Amino acid sequence: GFLREIRKRSNARVIVLDNNGGYYSRFAQPGDKLLNPLDVTRTVNWSTFAEIKSDADYKRIAAGFVPLAEGSGAEWSMYGRDLLADTLRAMNESGEKNPQKLYRLLTGPQDKLTNYLADAGLLGWTSPHGQEMMAGCKGTIKPHIAIFEHLKPDGDFSVRDWVKNGDGGDGWLFVTYREADKELLRQFLAAVADCAVVEGLNLSSCEGLPEAEHRRLFYILDELDSIGNISKLDDGFARGRKNGCSFVVGIQTLAQLRRVYGKEMATTILGNVATRAILRQEDGETALEMQKTLGEQDIERRTVSLSQTAGNSRPGLFSAGHSHNSSGKTASEQIQIVTRPCILASELQSMERLNGILMRGDKPHNPFKLEVVPMPVITPPFLEAAP
């Protein structure tokens, strides 16, 4: 329903990270673009080199493809980024804008890469220490750049240009991937999203403009915790709103998000989300975290206690020697303020399918139930390349 509503906006543009092409197959329209190097007959021809606009972009693109490891591995990640950035620079400045050759240089014999960088004047890698570092860096880089083999040498499509200039209309950009290809495309997806976030932050501010003139650029990042680390995502959350950027993210489990982004960054990402739709939680740790997120409530409890006292029997005080027994009841009321979670983790885990809790800033939490609206498939989600 959310994407259908966005389609109604005349000034809205959308970039979608689309698992299994489910959104593309149902929402694609003329003017939209598909980016998936493995969907070779329909994809735009994206290239790392098309995203280089300034000297700073070499390191930025390298950071997009080589995630920062935690602990002692962080240092090797930084060195790996340096090697990828220097190789990008050497090739771009020589006019060899071929991602496939970039892959061969970074994964092939070390002496070929050393000589190539030396010819470009990048001599730091030629020393004995540089050679030792290069060997480790190549191993750090290799798992993240396999997609370069599938990028065309003449690729000229730039995500940053698409964000900045559009395509003359309100077209959407679908970045699709199949579950079977996720491992190959994981960091590619993150790098492409990173390019889109960076350019979104470079757009002019919408502050002070009439509402009708506000830019609307939506980032739909479904299953965020299962793709690679988007290095500028926290900046996008924190600063993108004034530029008209809105982020819609889907997260399965907290453990997966921490594994991709680290504990501190995962906390930062969650802390910057203004509106949350919390559905049934299968994972216990995530359910507990959502219980904390939903906060606590004060409940007033009234308790009434009754006590009974027996009267005294005192002969001789009344005529004819009769005794009189008197008894009385007293009641006392106590009011207690009890603090408890708004929603228990166990309640989140046992919610019925499609039921959830909507959490919006300082507004009261609202329970909701999603309605399944069938959407016909209007185009194949993926086309296999001819053998």
Domain that holds residue 61: 47-155
Tokens describing residue 34: 């598909």
- Greater confidence, 323 or 211? 211
Q: Is the pLDDT of residue 168 over 80?
A: no
pLDDT band of residue 275 (cuts 50, 70, 90) is very high
* Domain-terminating residue out of 103, 121, 155: 155
Instruction: Judge if 101 and 250 occupy the same domain.
Output: no
Residue 222 φ then ψ, to 5°: -75, 145
CATH number at residue 166: 3.40.50.300
Place of tokens 């979104």: 200
pLDDT score recorded for residue 211: 67
Over residues 31-45, the pLDDT tens digits come to 999 999 999 999 999
Instruction: Judge if 249 and 379 occupy the same domain.
Output: yes
pLDDT score recorded for residue 370: 92
Q: Are 175 and 192 in contact (CB under 8 A)?
A: yes
Instruction: Judge if 274 and 165 occupy the same domain.
Output: yes
Query: Which range has the top average pLDDT, 57-66, 160-169, 288-297, 327-336?
Result: 57-66
Question: Which H or E run contains 248?
Answer: strand 245-249
Tokens describing residue 379: 């185009």
Instruction: Judge if 105 and 246 occupy the same domain.
Output: no
Instruction: Judge if 275 and 289 occupy the same domain.
Output: no
Look up residue 39 and give its DSSP letter.
S
pLDDT score recorded for residue 214: 74
Instruction: Judge if 186 and 65 occupy the same domain.
Output: no
* Cβ atoms within 10 Å, residue 236: 25
Instruction: Judge if 58 and 147 occupy the same domain.
Output: yes
pLDDT band of residue 324 (cuts 50, 70, 90) is very low
Q: Is residue 30 classed exposed, middle or buried when 0-12, 13-18 and 19+ CB atoms within 10 A define those classes?
A: exposed
Instruction: Judge if 161 and 22 occupy the same domain.
Output: yes
What is the percentage of the chain residues whose pLDDT exceeds 90?
67
Lowest mean pLDDT of 8-17, 115-124, 222-231, 268-277, name the range: 8-17
Q: Is the pLDDT of residue 312 over 60?
A: no
- Greater confidence, 322 or 112? 112
CATH number at residue 132: 1.10.8.80
- Greater confidence, 188 or 204? 188
Q: Is the pLDDT of residue 48 over 70?
A: yes
Sign of the Cα pseudo-torsion (228, 232, 234, 240, in order): negative
- Arithmetic mean of pLDDT, 169-192: 93
Lowest mean pLDDT of 78-92, 251-265, 313-327, 344-358, name the range: 313-327
Instruction: Judge if 147 and 65 occupy the same domain.
Output: yes
pLDDT score recorded for residue 310: 58
Q: For the chain, what is the domain count?
A: 3
pLDDT score recorded for residue 323: 45
Reported pTM: 0.86
Q: Is residue 273 classed exposed, middle or buried when 0-12, 13-18 and 19+ CB atoms within 10 A define those classes?
A: middle
Over residues 228-247, the pLDDT tens digits come to 999 899 999 999 999 999 99
Instruction: Judge if 296 and 382 occupy the same domain.
Output: no
- Arithmetic mean of pLDDT, 151-156: 94
Decide if 116 is inside a domain. yes
pLDDT score recorded for residue 73: 84
Decide if 262 is inside a domain. yes
Decide if 323 is inside a domain. no
Instruction: Judge if 79 and 216 occupy the same domain.
Output: no
